[in-house]
Amino acid sequence: MAERRVKDSFTSNFGMVAAAIGSAIGLGNLWRFPYLVGQNGGAAFIIVYLAITLLIATPILLAEMVIGRRGGGSPRESYIAVSGRKGWGVAGIIGMVTCFMIMSFYVVVGGWTVKYLLLSLSMAFSRGAQIDSVGLFSGFVGSSFPPIFYAALFIILTVAIICVGVQKGIEKTSKLMMPLLFVLIILIGIRSVTLPGAGAGLEYLFKPDFSHFTFDSLLAALGQSFFSLSLGACMLITYGAYTPRSSNLTKNAAIITVSDTFFAVLAGCAIMPAVFAFGINPSEGAGLVFVTLPQIFTQMPLGGLCSILFFIALFLAALSSSVSLFEVITASLMDICRISRGKAAAITAVVLTLTGCVCSLSQGVLKHITIAGMNIFDQFDYLSSNFLMTLGGLLTVICVGWFVKKPAFMDEITSGGTVKVPRPLAEILFFVIKYAAPVVIIVTALSIIF
């Protein structure tokens, strides 16, 4: 067991699990998952997605937590500690860069959630309101100052949580936000499924249609599983370092993946029935959340209240993931530069504000600057999601499977023998991490490249 380097830690296992669930649940659960389900065979996609998540993604997530808790430091320090080789510190730095690239465009979208939350609170989307949702969204994201202002506000909110520390900041807010987030999405789902014509939306989500499930659907399920759980971005390595020694890592990994998947399904039930009830074809990405749904709220009984609940949920989902991403960068800077939490958070905030400005402006005045046909915002998204996170996930399983000795892995998942994990289950988990997961990740990466 490596010497514990972090000075702060979670006070309870529930706090750790809540924070980890917050890192997994994000905007992708609310718009990407429902769309993928409908386009890839409904329940057929969900079944395959669940199998991949439980059999492949969960062991990878567990591997990240093993590195973090056993290493006891920042991602860079933890990789070096568990592998016994300084060269592995590069893997932690890659994780920091990955989080930085994701945050550069994520804070922009986070700013959008703040703007739309304020609009909903002003009852702009109440029933009978006359709005041009397309013009409202395109005009806002294509402008120069307003999106940057709201992105900066989102960064300030994130920094405020980070600077308070692990226990009073990350853990305390996660314990509050996660239960509230689930309650909100359940309330929205109840209202959505009770709308006339909502059955078509449920059919869209849950009717098995294997004629629409292809090899590309399998790859989509793999990609969504990895993306949704943020595998390869060192978030669970960072939180693992704050995890009490008494915590059952295997149980926690299962709870996190099940909760993330359950939320994604709930989000589908909250969004798609309403979309179909009003005869609107589902669209992918931001358009579904910021264009289609506001228009639906203006036609829906209690639409104003539903819009407030929804955009509070959207904001909480964005903020919880932002805190996790920001913490990886902050912890890494504290380690590399040997500076305080406050200074590391301030440096991160300043640099992210600058890169966030560029990503935001690439939707407007800088949209003519493209690389391989994509603007800067989309490039940051594409490179981080498809390459850096994939590389990070591969390094995680290689490190644990081939450089962490098996007895050390068993010692960690049993918390030094104090937690009972069935031997066959432990053997399967290690086999998946060492052999199956690397193959799956490499195949997924090759499919993206070629």
Residue 392: per-residue pLDDT: 94
pLDDT tier, 102 (very low <50, low <70, confident <90, very high otherwise): very high
Mean pLDDT for the stretch of residues 333-351: 94
Residue 144: per-residue pLDDT: 93
Percent of residues, the chain, with pLDDT higher than 70: 97
Burial state string for 272-310 with b = 16 or more CB within 10 A and e = fewer than 16 = bbbbbbbebebeeeebbbbbbbbbbbbebeebbbbbbbb
Task: State the pTM of this model.
Answer: 0.90
Residue 61: per-residue pLDDT: 95
Higher-pLDDT residue of 225, 283: 225
**Which of 43-57, 209-223, 288-302 tops mean pLDDT?**
43-57
Could you read off the pLDDT of 27-73 as tens digits, one per residue? 778 877 887 887 788 888 988 999 999 999 999 999 999 999 999 99
Question: Does position 284 have pLDDT exceeding 70, yes or no?
Answer: no
Higher-pLDDT residue of 392, 291: 392
Could you read off the pLDDT of 411-443 as tens digits, one per residue? 999 998 899 999 999 999 999 999 999 999 998
Q: Domain 13-449 is in which class? A: mainly alpha
Residue 93: per-residue pLDDT: 96
Contact 260, 231 (CB under 8 A): no
Higher-pLDDT residue of 31, 350: 350
